[in-house]
Amino acid sequence: MSCLNQGADASEAQAADGRSFNSFASMEPRPPVATPVAARNGKRVKEAAVPPQGVYLPNNNVLTPQMRSPEYVQMSTAAAITLGVMSGKMHRCSCTRCLNLLLTYPEGCRANCAYCGLARHRAADRDYAARNFIRVDWPAVPMAEIVERVARDGDRSPFHRMCISMITHPRSDEDTVSVLKAWTSRIDPSTIPVSILSNPTTMERADVQRLKDLGADIFTVALDAATPAIFDRTRGKGVQSPHKWQKYWEVLHHARDIFGPQKFGAHIIVGMGETEHELLALVQQLVDLGGHSHLFSFFPEQGSLMDHLPATPRDQWRRVQLARYLIDYAGVRVDQMVFDGEGRVTGYGLPEAEVERFVSEGVAFRTSGCPGKFRDDVSACDRPYGDSPPSNIASYPFQPTKQDLGKIRRQLKIPVVQG
Ligand code: SF4
């Protein structure tokens, strides 16, 4: 499946209760149902024992038990097209700048996060490497082949950054180290730097230090939920998942100490039941620590425990996107901003003309993430259509055009400037 054809127009988003934001009360995940024994821990794949045949394309090949990290990793559809291991075109994008790699095992991720397509409860209906994640398929490719292709391209590589996404698995700490070593043995990490999207649940301070010592550039923590209550409901006890808010913060603080200012950050999903003020207070907290936030607009991932819930309304998303950019890159503080009684942004802490300047520039509405080679506030990790369909873009994987900015202004409920 290409990244163009999933999800249709599900995100012409209005909140379930008719209000213009996703409230806590309206964003309750479904409870997970028990997985039949015959489908647990990759049993189907292990018993079929099909031999590996190089690249695995979801829905085209048969999964094999040998397809596990560190020998294999999965990569986003965008990365697979850019690397040339998969054919296809991306709407309005010629390539992605980030080679997103994901550890893979027949047993899959042992966590059960409610918004995630990779969650454990899906074992009943899809084998791990066949699951959709942030709206796209993730082909599995031998790590040696990836390194060979990128090393062969040398200075001509389209990639500005590589990212290793750990999942929750007993082997993920060791295998992240092996994947990082396989990369740095052939590719200079000062040419294509490496980010780690960590799994704090299995990590200690020494693990964070080891990744830094081996050449990782940026360390991020996928906090995802903006408040402890949402975290617990979507990634902890609420869905029989092992994660704990406090442990995530512990590892985030290790990352701050070890990787240093501007070299650590957190992923946050907007629209899972937090108020805009809660989310932006968290963004401020990260900036005060010396880090950055990378935002995702909630999208109901097919097959997840939240696939019945509404995507984040566009006005909520745009307000948070703009305010986060101003806090992260323009020195505005959350306490200078104005919020209404429901925690929605009604003032950005800047004169109107200044706000208009940032809106017109458009960078605030691009995908946020670890930087590439263009400028510090432009993410290498552009995740084309990872949080929306192309027909109603949430995070722009390219510089928005004048026409895009007109749509963004309408979504922000700012009058369209003529001329
Ligand atoms: S730990 Fe990550 S990959 Fe695993 S279910 Fe949670 S969000 Fe998905």
Question: What is the mean predicted confidence (pLDDT) over 73-84?
Answer: 89
On whether residue 198 sits in a domain, the answer given is yes
On whether residue 99 sits in a domain, the answer given is yes
Question: What is the mean predicted confidence (pLDDT) over 225-254?
Answer: 97
Question: Of all residues in the chain, what percent carry a pLDDT higher than 70?
Answer: 92
Q: Which of 73, 102, 109 to mutate to test the pocket of ligand 1 (most atoms within 8 A of CB)?
A: 109
168 lines ligand 1 (CB under 6 A): yes
**pLDDT at residue 12 tops 80:** no
Closest residue to atom 3 of ligand 1, CA basis: 167
- Phi and psi for 200 in degrees, rounded to 5? -55, -30
109 lines ligand 1 (CB under 6 A): yes
The DSSP bridge partners found for residue 292 are 265
Give residue-wise pLDDT tens across range 103-147.
999 888 999 999 998 888 887 787 777 777 777 788 889 999 999
On whether residue 271 sits in a domain, the answer given is yes
330 exposed, middle or buried (CB, 10 Å; 0-12, 13-18, 19+)?
A: middle
On whether residue 254 sits in a domain, the answer given is yes
On whether residue 13 sits in a domain, the answer given is no
202 lines ligand 1 (CB under 6 A): no
Which pLDDT score, from 0 to 100, does residue 65 have?
67
Q: Binning pLDDT at 50, 70 and 90, where does residue 9 land?
A: very low
Which pLDDT score, from 0 to 100, does residue 3 have?
30
* Selection from 355, 315, 353 nearest residue 337 by Cα: 355
Convert 156-203 into a string of H (helix), E (strand) and C (coil): HCCCCEEEEECCCCCCHHHHHHHHHHHHHCCCCCCCCCEEEEECHHHC
119 lines ligand 1 (CB under 6 A): yes
201 lines ligand 1 (CB under 6 A): no
On whether residue 7 sits in a domain, the answer given is no
Which pLDDT score, from 0 to 100, does residue 16 have?
46
Nearest atom in ligand 1 to 118's CA: 8
**pLDDT at residue 368 tops 70:** yes
On whether residue 25 sits in a domain, the answer given is no
For residue 42, the domain's CATH number is: 3.20.20.70
Between the CA of 235 and the centroid of ligand 1 the distance, in Å, is 8
* pTM summary value: 0.90
Give residue-wise pLDDT tens across range 165-215.
999 999 999 999 999 999 999 999 999 999 999 999 999 999 999 999 999
The amino acid sitting at 150 is V
118 lines ligand 1 (CB under 6 A): yes
Report the DSSP pairing between strands 98-103 and 161-165. parallel
223 lines ligand 1 (CB under 6 A): no
Q: Which of 33-37, 90-94, 341-345 has the lowest mean pLDDT?
A: 90-94
Number of domains the chain is built from: 1
**pLDDT at residue 11 tops 50:** no
The helix (run of H) or strand (run of E) holding residue 247 is helix 245-259
Between the CA of 359 and the centroid of ligand 1 the distance, in Å, is 33
Q: At what angle do helices 314-329 and 402-412 cross, to 10 degrees?
A: 110
Mean pLDDT of the chain: 88
In 82-171 the beta strands, taken as DSSP E runs, fall at: 98-103, 140-142, 161-165
Residues 6+ apart with CB under 8 A from 235: 111, 113, 114, 224, 225, 241, 243
Q: Which of 95-99, 320-324, 397-401 has the lowest mean pLDDT?
A: 95-99
Q: Are 251 and 291 in contact (CB under 8 A)?
A: no
Between the CA of 338 and the centroid of ligand 1 the distance, in Å, is 34
Angle at 14 between CA 8 and CA 282, to 5 degrees: 105
Q: Binning pLDDT at 50, 70 and 90, where does residue 98 land?
A: confident
Domain containing 239 equals: 37-412
Which pLDDT score, from 0 to 100, does residue 2 have?
31
On whether residue 67 sits in a domain, the answer given is yes
Q: Which of 116, 198, 234 to mutate to test the pocket of ligand 1 (most atoms within 8 A of CB)?
A: 116
Between the CA of 48 and the centroid of ligand 1 the distance, in Å, is 26
Which whole-number Å values give the CA distances from 404 to 281, 411, 412, in the listed order? 28, 11, 12
Q: Are 184 and 213 in contact (CB under 8 A)?
A: no
269 lines ligand 1 (CB under 6 A): no
Q: Which of 14-23, 279-288, 397-406 has the lowest mean pLDDT?
A: 14-23
Give residue-wise pLDDT tens across range 33-75.
888 777 777 777 777 777 777 777 766 666 666 789 999 999 9
**pLDDT at residue 8 tops 60:** no
Closest residue to atom 2 of ligand 1, CA basis: 167
**pLDDT at residue 154 tops 90:** no
The DSSP bridge partners found for residue 371 are 379
The helix (run of H) or strand (run of E) holding residue 270 is strand 264-270
By three-state DSSP, how is residue 295 classified? strand
